[in-house]
Amino acid sequence: DIQMTQSPSTLSASVGDRVTLTCRASQSISSWLAWYQQKPGRAPKLLIYKASSLESGVPSRFSGSGSGTEFSLTISSLQPDDFATYYCQRYNSYPWTFGQGTKVEIK
Amino acid sequence: QITLKESGPTLVKPTQTLTLTCTFSGFSLNNSGVGVAWIRQPPGKALEWLALIYWNDNKRYSPSLGSRLTISKDTSKDQVVLSMTNMDPVDTATYFCAHVQAVAAYFDYWGQGTLVTVSS
């Protein structure tokens, strides 16, 4: 199976910071990658699909980039509502797999 | 508006079979290109995709759990059912169902999740 590795595991940042989260695939997945945001006790929320396409209704401060094996999610100016855990997910082939998550916490 | 909701037991004993139901609205599994997936999340841990069923009854399972899982649909009730045999305490998790489009294969709508605890 293709493994997804996210880094860092935890990121401490302040409101207004620009933050970048990374997701690496153990082999190429082209652009078949999604990003989700999850808050405690809640279901994940789709943010980005096909590596860089912004889901409808998601604020434009979120952006995704990358292809092949290296991907990133950038939040241009961190807002209080953005403190959460973020997961990447590949869907190029079965079994679909998620990364282990990056928790964005208040510095 | 697409909504999904999971239902089933909150507590099961080891070796028992878990049966979960996903009841959805806002779409039909009779429509081409539509699917419903199950994903789980142990407390404090990452998400794990389990199974998927498409409108054409095509089914996919996680290889790590495949022999224990069965997914089915009842289009007349707008429901998808997941069964998992031989439950173990390590299967304690929140179980989510989610809407998938065959051409997209990411999870664009999620249920709220249901916590299942495996304990004697």
At residue A58, the pLDDT reads 98
pLDDT, average across residues B52-57: 96
At residue B101, the pLDDT reads 87
At residue B105, the pLDDT reads 86
Cross-chain CB nearest to A43 (options B62, B106, B111): B111
Amino acid code (one letter) for A8: P
pLDDT, average across residues B41-55: 97
Q: What percent of chain B has pLDDT over 90?
A: 94
CB contact under 8 A, B105 and A101: no
At residue A1, the pLDDT reads 85
Condensed to tens digits (0 to 9), the pLDDT of residues A10-43 reads 999 999 999 999 999 999 999 999 999 999 999 9
pLDDT, average across residues B11-31: 97
At residue A103, the pLDDT reads 98
Residue of A nearest to B43 (CA): A41
Cross-chain CB nearest to A95 (options B62, B104, B112): B62
Condensed to tens digits (0 to 9), the pLDDT of residues A55-93 reads 999 999 999 999 999 999 999 999 999 999 999 999 999
Instruction: Please enumerate residues of B whose Cβ is less than 8 A from a Cβ of A.
Output: 46-49, 60, 62-64, 96, 104-108, 110-113
**b or e along A70-106 (b: 16 or more beta carbons within 10 Å of the residue's beta carbon)?**
ebbbebeebeeebbbbbbbbbbeeebbbbbbbbbbee
* pLDDT band at residue B79 using 50, 70 and 90 as cut-offs: very high
The average confidence (pLDDT) of chain B is: 96
Nearest to B114 by CA among B2, B18, B4, B7: B7
CB contact under 8 A, A34 and B48: no
pLDDT, average across residues B69-92: 97
R_g of chain B, CA atoms, integer Å: 14
CB contact under 8 A, B63 and A32: no
Q: Is A62 on the interface with B (CB under 8 A)?
A: no
At residue A36, the pLDDT reads 98
CB contact under 8 A, A55 and B110: no
